[in-house]
Amino acid sequence: MSSLRRLAMLILVLVYAAGLAANWLAPAHYAAQFRDAPDAAPSRKFPLGTDAVGRDVLSRLIYGTRVSLVLAPAAAILATMVAGLLGGVAGYLGGGMEAVILRAADLFVSLPWLFLLITVRAMLPLNVPPVESVLVTFLLLGLLGWAGPARVVGATARVIRRQDFVLQARASGSGGFRLLALHVLPNLKPILLAQFWISVPVFILSEANLGFLGLGVGEPVPSWGGLLREIENVQAVAANPWLLAPLALLVVVVGCFHLLTPPEDYSK
Amino acid sequence: MKRRAFLLILACGILCGVVAAATIGPQSGGELRFCVRADPKTFNPILVEEEPGETVRYLTGGVLIRLNRITQELEPELAMSWRVINGGRTIQFELRDGLRYSDGSALAASDVAFTMNTLLDPKLHSITGDMFRTGPGLISAGVTGRNKIEITFPQPVAGLARFFDQVPVVSPRALALAAQPAQMPVAGPYRIEEYKPGSHVLLVRNPYYWKRDAAGHPLPYLDRVRISIQQNRDLEMLRFLRGELDFVVPVDPESFDRLAAHARAEAVDAGSSLDAEFIWFNQVASAPIPAYKKAWFQSQEFRRAISEAINREDICRVVYRKHAVPAAGPVSAANRFWFNSRLKAQPHDPAAALARLKQAGFRTVGGGLQDRQGNPVEFSLITNSGNKTRERMAAMMQQDLAGIGIKLNVVPLDFPSLLERISRSFNYEASMLGFVNVDLDPNGQMNVWVSSAEMHQWNPSQKSPATAWEAEIDRLMLAQSSELGPRKRKALFDRVQEIVWEEAPFVYLVNPNALSAISTRLKNVQPSVLRPQTFWNVERLTLAP
């Protein structure tokens, strides 16, 4: 393991550990409002300043890590698994099955999900506790995020199906599930990992956007997506650059995830 | 000799310059630029009902009477004088001589009659026309002499003259050309030159506008007004800071404080506006919410306790950065005549709130509040998503109510979903929204306070008043609407405000201040708390070179 990858691993461990130890590490509770210090600049008491209602941003960032860094990867795993299964089967089997699955993926991508999400919100009771709201949000993201990756996986599986080593395996009598499990799926791993890493930041940001529909993570529970909504106002960011702290952390974490991705290539 | 000639030419030049300046008027010319949030839905002045359309109508429409946004007094415009007679049923106007539309055609008294007959045509459903309707029957509008017109209503109309501030006089030709706004003749200071959907509306000076300043210079001073259509508030502010716009209104408190340090901008706080932010509880009998929650929401004690538990001072200080005042009731102190000064905003008193709740049968168990049946007191509050001010207020109320053991779930919803819940399905528990008041007169709030009205949000469209106090409000509102004496009307409406304070169907939170950002280039601006706050005196605005 290179030193860069070791560093990335260390950073991720530290970030996850901070999220899990939020109760002990955070200087204040995420919901505590210091109303005498709204929008405060960084100080010893508030290392990353406070938000508009006087909540300590560092504390919210640490607690938000718990929500975003556990649930966004979980949703990404769900989406990637569904994509791997359907895309892999489509690419491996080809023919009618491939056409059906890929057309279904096309249809899924083209559907107006905004309206579906509005319907889901309408069906959910308004008094959903924040924790359940968080779980529903990320479950939705995971279930809705498979179609794009499935098309990529399907195309890759189709290429693998025609590779020499697959033909050799087939000629040696290997086929069916054995061929899929031992020769095709392992070679899809880099693609699946790439799709997974791409999905994590996308889901973190999607969660923030879902807040607009009354889904998302409800007040006062913090999430990275919610914290990122604070930087929508360009002037506010220009005046208070420390508002970019959640974005900086997101970039670092996603960068670390990418560094840890095995540099394998199925064509090797 | 040469020097003498030079001095003579110089003196003549200076004299000509002075004379020219005096003839043209103070800093004539230039283009005023600002933004509206959306395209005007119509340019037909009779049918306008939203802010962008109202903005264009204000700038292009010639009205008989104009409300001075600073003094809150009526001033003559196209009408030299007016008189309300016949117990408030009839109003007589005398028009100025020589009035013309922007195409040069004469504005006649018969056009006023045409305007009123069209405005009150029930088939048109004009919101402006609705203001004049106090009972069944037809109006009669007739020309009684040269430049004289008399309009008679079937019932007395309280505050009749004031309504004409929103009635631009139109000709039949103007309405026929409303779909081609650039051809539509108007009698206001500007006419529409160009409309590019999604981009801008360009207005140019009406060459036939009647008004002149004290020195006899023709008004308006500015040649053009460019109204850009810009939905994004952040982009609007960026354009303003780059000098592409002359003002932004309204400005949120966060931007306001930042603007105060900007050299090219003047951040103006005109004081408390007519608007109010408030919450209310769903009291609709058929609402699909648990019966025990309906019982809470229908309890005056519960509503009053919630009101007492909310720290309005903190909301003003933290969310509005001191650019708001705690609200006492439906009328802001900015409405000088109609505000009931005996009412004070509910002070933050969690101990009193708890005592009130205990008196009503609630009790605290393990830090949480429970009702008589042991149901934990928890309810959801819906508000429109994307409105950071409201989301922050909700977060603060969440903490305030947690202090007395109440769990508040804040649910921001997209606006169509929110409207669907509060006006059709009634599937909600509490909601937070704001009133944008444009009218000083209580008749403008008729559709809120009368129990049969659709905007009676806590329990709309009632066939008969559900409670005795709502029946009393109905009676008082109808009485004030047909009463002509301002003092008697004030006494009646004062009582309405008192009942609303006592019963708290709306828990009023704050009256935000009217904040605007004005370029230092723009002169003669007199920001007002009344709409249009910044350009109400558009004819006298000028731009520094």
- Cβ-based contacts under 8 A for chains A and B: 86
Residues of A in Cβ contact (< 8 Å) with B321: 38
> Are B429 and A127 inside 8 Å of each other by CB?
yes
With tokens 């901008």, the residue in question is B265
Shortest distance between the Cα of A38 and any Cα of chain B, in A, equals: 6
Average pLDDT per 10 consecutive residues for chain A, totaling 268 residues? 87 92 93 93 93 93 88 89 90 87 87 73 74 78 87 90 87 82 85 86 76 71 83 78 88 84 53
Number of domains in chain B: 2
In a domain, B4, yes or no: no
Provide the pairing of β-strand B506-519 with B265-272: antiparallel
CB atoms within 10 A of CB A50: 26
**Per-residue model confidence (pLDDT) at position A211:** 65
Nearest CA in chain A to B393: A53
Residue at B13: amino acid letter: G
Q: Is B213 left (phi over 0), alpha (psi -120 to 50) or beta?
A: beta
Q: What is the pLDDT of residues B441-452, one digit of tens each?
A: 888 788 899 999
Asked, for residue B26, whether it belongs to a domain, the answer is no
The answer to whether position B9 is within a domain reads no
* B493 in a structural domain: yes
Do B211 and B296 sit in the same domain of this protein?
no
A241 touches chain B (CB under 8 A): no
Domain ranges of chain A: 3-260
**Is B50 within the bounds of a domain?**
yes
Residue B233 near chain A (CB below 8 Å): no
Beta strands (DSSP E) in B414-524 are 430-435, 506-519, 522-523
C-alpha pair distances (Å), B243 with each of B32, B140, B236: 12, 50, 11
CA angle A234, A48, A14 (to 5 degrees): 115
Average pLDDT rounded to a whole number, residues B222-234:
92
pTM: 0.80
**Min Cα separation B253/chain A (Å):** 11
Nearest CB neighbour to A214, from listed B379, B412, B420:
B412
Instruction: Note the pLDDT of residue B363.
Output: 95
Query: Both B97 and B180 in a single domain?
Result: yes
B330 and B466 share one domain: yes
Q: Which among B237, B411, B414 has CB closest to A218?
A: B411
**What are the pLDDT digits (tens) for B453-485?**
888 999 999 999 999 999 999 999 988 887 878
Whether residues B300 and B449 share a domain: the answer is yes
User: Residues B122, B146: one domain?
Assistant: yes
CA distance B233 to chain A (A): 9
Q: Which CATH class is domain A3-260?
A: mainly alpha
Q: What is the CATH number of the domain that holds B75?
A: 3.40.190.10
Q: What is the pLDDT of residue B197?
A: 94
Residues B297 and B428 in one domain: yes
| Residues 304-333 of chain B whose Cβ lies under 8 A from any Cβ of chain A | 314, 317-319, 321
Same domain membership, residue B143 and residue B35 = yes
Contacts of A189 (CB under 8 A, 6+ apart): A262, A264, A266
Enclosing domain of residue B441: 276-513
Q: What is the ipTM of this complex?
A: 0.78
Within a domain: residue B498?
yes
Does any CB of chain B come closer than 8 Å to the CB of residue A239?
A: yes
d(CA A18, CA B34): 48
Phi, psi (rounded to 5 degrees) for B192: -80, 125
Is residue B424 one of the residues assigned to a domain? yes
Query: Looking at the structure, do residues B525 and B443 belong to the same domain, yes or no?
Result: no
Would you call B409 and A129 a contact, using CB atoms and an 8 Å cutoff? yes
CB neighbourhood size of B144 (10 A): 12
Q: Which of B528, B333, B297 is nearest to B429 (CA)?
A: B297
Q: Does B16 score more than 70 pLDDT?
A: no
Q: Contact, B512 vs B327, CB < 8 A? A: no
Distance spanning both ends of chain B, measured CA to CA: 37
Do A118 and B414 make contact, defined as CB atoms within 8 angstroms?
yes
CA dihedral A73, A75, A79, A81 (to 10 degrees): 70
B492 and B527 fall within a common domain: no
Smallest Cβ–Cβ distance between B414 and the set A33, A126, A212 belongs to A212
> What residues of chain A lie within 8 A of the CB of B388, using their CB?
52
What is the nearest CA distance from B413 to chain A, expressed in angstroms?
Answer: 5
Strand, helix or coil for residue A94: coil
Question: What is d(CA B150, CA B58) in angstroms, rounded to the nearest whole number?
Answer: 24
Which pLDDT score, from 0 to 100, does residue A267 have?
A: 44
CATH number at residue B284: 3.10.105.10
Same domain, B338 and B430: yes
Decide: B237 and B248 in contact? Cβ < 8 Å.
yes
Residues B333 and B353 occupy one common structural domain: yes
